[in-house]
Structure 1
């Protein structure tokens, strides 16, 4: 029985990261956590041990004597665990394999490159096949078994599919930097009505998500330009042809000097990006390994992807 229920691996990793970086901010980035989530883990650990591990000031984070005593032991536990996991993984690893993943384009472009790079360095023998497609095709490929899992969002609950949540991705306004709405800190959905709107077609997952979430308010302008791909909408916005609504993670960093991004409120609407899998059946060892990498490295908030 655990005599210290607040002491778990997440808490130990949080403590070691803060101790090594000497900064809650840098530790949160390393662990892909929000500042508040990291603070809660440290507080839970301190309460479980009944000690103060860090002295916090407005500028510095300094370990207490208890923290200095605890650090090498926490590091030893994590090293031993990592070595044990590596041993088990190597023992069960296949010499070769292929993994097919279906994903929506924004995920493929902005979330997966770093994760795939990390996985490929550890498992260079595995062939990865990415199917970049729309939401309907992602779910169909997973349901039919053409892909071991998908990375996307679900508009409606699907009995045969389950989703492991990875990332909260709010919808935001994209408008030219000289547009009147760019002067606002936040924009209400109803304030979009006077302006030409560039929006995904009615069959797209994003459009269906928005229509369902905003069914009770009158928000849509009459003048619409419908597009197939989010990158097209950004080009049209940059040309001054209208405003657009996009998921936060779809906003490339290199366009932020030319396009203003503003949070949309009243209400706030977000899609939950996750790993979509069949409820029945089990993942292959290769797929389970990639799933662990994905869950470990995926940020919790889309702002990490945009450099905020």
Structure 2
């Protein structure tokens, strides 16, 4: 019994989308080509994979039994591709590091200049992504390293704390909070808050869960990107809360920073490394460079 990878990809695509036309769009093939691949696979296997009607395409009993193994085969193929890419990138001296937008655009460029002077033949590729994706990208070998605010990790990813970043307020100079000399959490509920991403919203809720009712913040407006939250704060209508590592971007928008006391809450900027495999010499050198540059002395 011999079937091709392309035939199995067509089978999984049709099963996932429930349509030959949508599967053809996903595979960048014509509908007739996808249909032919499935017909050829059915001929090799000796049984039907789909029940076809004018309205929909559903898996046959045999197709339902086969689909988990077919999906596992394609996942294993993707995993093999990633391992092969790792081997190639290690030989080439390539380091891939993921970071949220602000760190990718402000902190990492400052780290790259001295590192390039130390290792001119090493290429560092910066991949900006949401905070929520940092750990997953390391775990699935899409990147060698990630840097960003602390996140839960599993057994395959190690978190190395770099430095604490206190939560602060960013607001327009004309906002009423800009006139406060000292800001406490209980001062904030009367003002409109905008936060960036579910990660910030959930982290804030976790940190403030033990506060009294008059200190807890009302549900904020949530946007996807920190740049949007800072831009809305610059309008003077809102304030935003974030760790102070966003300072370069916030200042460029004319925002002012106000620290929050009673209590001071911080978020740890961390380096995420694989725990289930060794780093390449180039990636290990860049990780050590980041630790030396960003960890507080002593």
TM-score range, shorter chain: 0.5 to 0.7
Could you tell me which residue of structure 2 aligns to residue 143 of structure 1?
Answer: 139
* CA distance in 2 between partners of 1:229 and 1:257 (Å): 15
Tell me, what secondary structure is at the counterpart of 1:173?
strand
Q: Which residue of 2 aligns with 1:211?
A: 205
Deviations 1:230-288 (A, max 9, x none): 12112111111111102101022773794221111222111111111122221111111
CA contact 2:131–2:149 (8 Å) conserved in 1: yes
User: Would you say the 8 A contact 1:185–1:263 is kept in 2?
Assistant: no
CA offsets, 1:17-65, max 9 Å, x none? xxxxxxxxxxxxxxxxxxxxxxxxxxxxxxxxxxxxxxxxxxxxxxxxx
**Of residues 156, 161, 166 in structure 2, which corresponds to 1:160?**
156
Question: Gaps spanning 5+ residues in structure 1: where?
Answer: 1-93, 302-308
Q: Does 1:287 align with 2:283?
A: yes
2:93 paired residue number: 97
Conserved 8 A contact 1:151-1:275 = yes
Distance, in Å, in 2 between the alignment partners of 1:105 and 1:194 is 30
Instruction: Note the 1:1-308 alignment, pairs <5 A.
Output: 96-201=92-197, 203=198, 205-217=199-211, 218=213, 219-222=215-218, 224-252=220-248, 255=251, 258-298=254-294, 300=296
C-alpha change, 1:96 and 1:161, in structure 2 (3 Å) is closer
Cα drift, residue 128 of structure 1: 1.8
Q: Judge conservation of contact 2:139–2:156 (CA < 8 Å) in 1.
A: yes
Change (3 A) 1:223 1:163: closer
In the alignment, is the contact (CA less than 8 A) between 2:170 and 2:250 conserved in 1?
A: no
Q: CA offset at residue 189 of structure 1?
A: 1.4
Report the number of matched residues. Answer: 206
Q: RMSD in angstroms over aligned alpha carbons?
A: 2.4
Residue aligned with 1:252, SS = helix
Separation (CA, whole Å) in 2 of partners of 1:213 and 1:282: 34
CA-CA distance at 1:153 after TM superposition? 2.5
TM-score, structure 2 as length reference? 0.63
- Change in CA separation of 1:254 and 1:195 when aligned onto 2, cut-off 3 Å: closer
The aligned residue for residue 20 of structure 1 is: none
Describe the superposition over 1:159-179 as per-residue Cα deviations: whole angstroms up to 9, x where unpaired: 332211212111101122233
**Deviation (angstroms), 1:197:** 0.8
Task: Give the distance between the partners of 1:259 and 1:153, measured in 2 at CA.
Answer: 22
Is the alpha carbon distance of 1:278 and 1:254 closer, same or farther for their aligned partners in structure 2, counting shifts above 3 Å?
A: closer
The structural deviation recorded for 1:144 is 0.9
CA contact (8 A) 1:111 1:298 kept: no
Instruction: Kindly indicate whether the alpha-carbon contact (under 8 Å) linking 1:161 and 1:277 is maintained by their aligned counterparts in 2.
Output: yes
Match of 1:49 in 2: none
Give the 3-state SS of the residue equivalent to 2:257 in structure 1: strand
How far 1:139 sits from its partner (Å)?
0.7
CA contact (8 A) 1:173 1:244 kept: yes
Point out the structure with max Rg over C-alpha. Answer: 2
